[in-house]
Structure 1
Amino acid sequence: MMKLYGMTDSGNCYKPRLLLAKLDIPYTHVETSSRDGTTRRPDYLAKNPNGKVPLLELDGGRHLSESNAILLYLAEGTRFLPADAYERALVHQWLFFEQYSHEPNIAVRRSLIRYPERAAVATPEKMAATLEGGNQALGVMERQLSQTPFLIGDALTVADIALYAYTHDAEEGGYDLAAFPAVSAWLKRVEADPGHVPMEHTG
């Protein structure tokens, strides 16, 4: 059985758990956190030298890190990854957007508010910059989702799963989702898709 190393309250770690639930694939969740030092232990670094989560341990001992790479691997041959080359490229486009424009603002701002040990980093300048950047990212999503039910069109893909993870609790980071009605409606469509599980689900 596969093992998934990750933090329960991390959006990046939620992504593969959500897809595994939708695919009804059994796995073992191993709570592993950068906050308690377990990601810096020698046994973990032997599996992932980057010392981050999530990390997927496959049958046979191979390992795969980076949340969106894990999504692409698990989605291969399923309804969550289009067969058409252009649509697959659009999925990758949104995955890059999620990691470069969305997560560094929305997820980071949430973590600065959520974790007391990060208070020293939560300067007024940092909070203002992440609020502005996050609202810009939500605006990009709003424009797309005003035109299509999901990010790639009519069907939910791993692009939606990736962006759902940190968007669904963006209000914890001080974002006003009411200002983005198409995004808010999309969140409900994602949640209505078969096999949906909440963030605290660990298999």
Structure 2
Amino acid sequence: MLTLYDYLDSGNGYKCRLLLALLKTPYTRVELDLDKGETRTHAFLAKNPNGRIPALELEDGPGNTVVLPESNAILYYLADGSAYLPQSRLARAQVMQWLFFEQYSHEPYVATPRWIIRHMGRNHPRMAEMPERLEKGRAAFAVMEQHLQRNDFFVANRYTIADIALYAYTHRAHEGDHDLAPYPALRNWLDRVATQPGHIKMLPTD
């Protein structure tokens, strides 16, 4: 049995929940409230010394469990052997290309503004970071828009974990003061992802 250590408002956690739903894979979800410091307890740090969610606990032989952290590593592990991870060498490398892009060029400038606003508040000193973060977020959206003007999805013209990784925070970008109106191809892609069979929403209130 798989156990996912998660936080409902985390886009990184949502990536994993979405893929597990698409794969119809049973698992146990453990909610850890980041605002209450629940990922910094001794018990959780023993599982993931980096103190972050998501983290996937899985069995690795009789009586032995392994904890796999990092959302995109979890996506890669879960998708192996499924339709969500292509088999060709080049396509797999292209999936990794977009997973790295998401973590390095996208997430810090799309997810972090959302976190600042939703979890720290507009009066927090970190609001001073917003102009630079929003500018770099727009640069990431421009790269995505250019690609999606020619492609329905990010890799091999089919729905893969590259799309799942990028969808998670992009579809909540407005909550971090991003405006997606200038990116019509990106917005059409969001609609395509949301209408894939088996899709689930991020929050119960959606």
TM-score per shorter chain, which class?
A: over 0.9
Q: Distance in 2 between matches of 1:36 and 1:120?
A: 20
Q: CA deviation at 1:153?
A: 3.3
Map of 2:127 onto structure 1: 122
Map of 2:90 onto structure 1: 86
> Map of 1:178-193 to 2, 5 A cutoff?
178-193=181-196
Q: CA RMSD in A?
A: 1.2
Map of 1:113 onto structure 2: 117
TM-score normalised to structure 2 length? 0.94
Q: Distance in 2 between matches of 1:188 and 1:117?
A: 29
Greater RCO (Cα-Cα under 8 Å, separation 6 or more): 1
- For the pair 1:98 / 2:102, whether they are aligned, the reply is yes
Is there any run of 5+ residues in structure 2 with no aligned partner, and where?
none
1:173 paired residue among 168, 173, 176: 176
Tell me which amino acid in the other structure corresponds to 1:162: A
- For the pair 1:50 / 2:42, whether they are aligned, the reply is no
Tell me which amino acid in the other structure corresponds to 2:114: R
Corresponding residue pairs, total: 199
Q: Distance in 1 between matches of 2:199 and 2:32?
A: 23
TM-score normalised to structure 1 length? 0.95
Q: CA deviation at 1:154?
A: 1.9
Is there any run of 5+ residues in structure 1 with no aligned partner, and where?
none
Map of 1:61 onto structure 2: 65
Q: Distance in 1 between matches of 2:33 and 2:102?
A: 22
Map of 1:149 onto structure 2: 152
